[in-house]
Amino acid sequence: MDISVLVGSGRPWTEIVRIARAADELGAYAVYIPDHFMPNTQDASIEDGPRLEAWTLLSALSQRTTSVRLGPLVLGGTYRHPAVVANMVAALDHVSEGRAIAGLGAGWQVNEHAAYGIDLLSAKDRSDRFEESVHVVASLLREPRTTYDGRFFQLTDAPNEPAPVQDRLPVLVAGGGEQRTLRTVARYADVWHTWGTPESFAAKSAVLDERCAEADRDPGRIRRATGFFVEDLGDGAATVAPFREVCDEFVFGDVDAPADDLIAAVGAALA
């Protein structure tokens, strides 16, 4: 099982780069950055708080690391046109020399959409738009040209040049919705991520196997990633142990603990 870390974009840049470089040196699989513009609130109120933009951070980290993979966990699907996303991902793959992960999500944080006037859409429309978006991003990353005529997006013989460095740049789709999201995963994703306990993740993973059967897709071709926002980072090895039988990758979620504690937990899990 690989070990990765989600580094909060509310940390100062100096801390973000220190954690990422430590993860790189320790042999972690990936460093992820969340895609948010402000802290979340339970009542959807607007909250002050620093958030550095995800893709700028990833591009900068590509020049401060050497082997760890880099991606968002995950890009909000409502914030950017998928053609823009595909170009961003391909560029990151070049500047990182083949280490980019295209982490995609539907979008969900209510206060961000309200503050910036971005339409969150209904749950159904958001799912429809997200499936189209994943289809477009995957096609632009994998095919020389893309033509697509959807409800939300239309492309005509669209290139995405230069193509990524990786022969098949991994498309990560995040979410646990069994009726829509897991069907999107089964059709287009190379990696699936959802947060959970070992038990809840195993149950969702079994549903994904069913969705793969419906899509005539080998479930073994989809990498399974989960993780936890660990409050007690005192024993990283014990934290990840229950997950070893249910996933390919464990992601430490950042709870704004001291950077040294997060680094130590990742190191213990990799030991």
Q: What is the mean pLDDT of residues 196-213?
A: 97
C-alpha–C-alpha distance, residues 13 and 22, integer Å: 14
Whether 32 and 65 have beta carbons less than 8 Å apart is answered as: no
Q: What is the mean pLDDT of residues 224-241?
A: 92
What is the model's pTM? Answer: 0.97
Residue 231 pLDDT more than 90?
Answer: no
CATH code (residue 111): 3.20.20.30
146-164 pLDDT, tens digit per residue, is 999 999 999 999 999 999 9
Number of domains the chain contains: 1
What residue numbers bound the domain in which 240 lies?
2-270
CB-based contacts of 66, cutoff 8 Å, min separation 6? 24
Terminal C-alpha separation, the chain: 12
Cβ–Cβ contacts within 10 Å for residue 63, how many?
10
Residue 103 burial by Cβ neighbours in a 10 Å radius (0-12, 13-18, 19+): buried
